[in-house]
Amino acid sequence: MKAWIASVCLVAFCSSPVLAQDGAAPAADPKIEVATKILEESHALDHMSAALDALLPQMVNLIKRQAPSLSDEQLKMVSDMFSEELKATLPKMMTANARIYANHFTLDELKAIEQFYESPVGQKVIAETPAIIKEATPLGVALGREAAIEVLPKVIERLRQQGVKI
């Protein structure tokens, strides 16, 4: 059960720093306005939602392994609750991402990015991104799991060398 709670906390931890910022972006900042337009034109909200949809089964499988006594109905309830709560944060993530874009690009660069997304190749990137996310997310989860399995014994050994009892 502790591992199940830890996995839930990990998901919250992974998504919280960007959301800790104030959700409102200054309306008069042209960089944020263009960045927001880029995110809207590139369907970033849809892509973030697709990424959550791809991660959710992985989370549910982890919960199922940690709490095998949960029924399918209970797991569906957990999945639905996570999905609803996480998707409710997406507008805040969009605002935070617009601010991040504005911090990393000049206004001219943002305008060039906007032009790219309006081009035929940019439109193809927009159209293909959901399928790419759906395909890449499980791969990323699997590779991350393999890396964790590989490094965990080394971490434990190093901590033991430092006198930590594990």
Ranges of each domain in the chain: 2-10+27-161
Res 27: pLDDT: 53
**Four-residue CA torsion sign, 115, 118, 121, 127:** positive
| Residue 62 CB partners (closer than 8 Å, separation 6+) | 4, 7
pLDDT digits (tens, 9 = 90+) for 53-65: 888 888 888 888 8
User: % helix / strand / coil in the chain, to the nearest 5?
Assistant: 85, 0, 15
The pTM (predicted TM-score) of the whole model is 0.63
Q: Which of 20-24, 84-88, 103-107 has the highest mean pLDDT?
A: 103-107
pLDDT bracket for residue 11 (50, 70, 90): very low
Average pLDDT on 38-55 reads 88
> Looking at residues 11-26, what average pLDDT do you find?
44
For residue 1, pLDDT beyond 90: no
Q: Return the C-alpha torsion angle 99, 101, 106, 111, nearest 10.
A: -110
CA 48-45-125 angle, to 5 degrees, is: 80
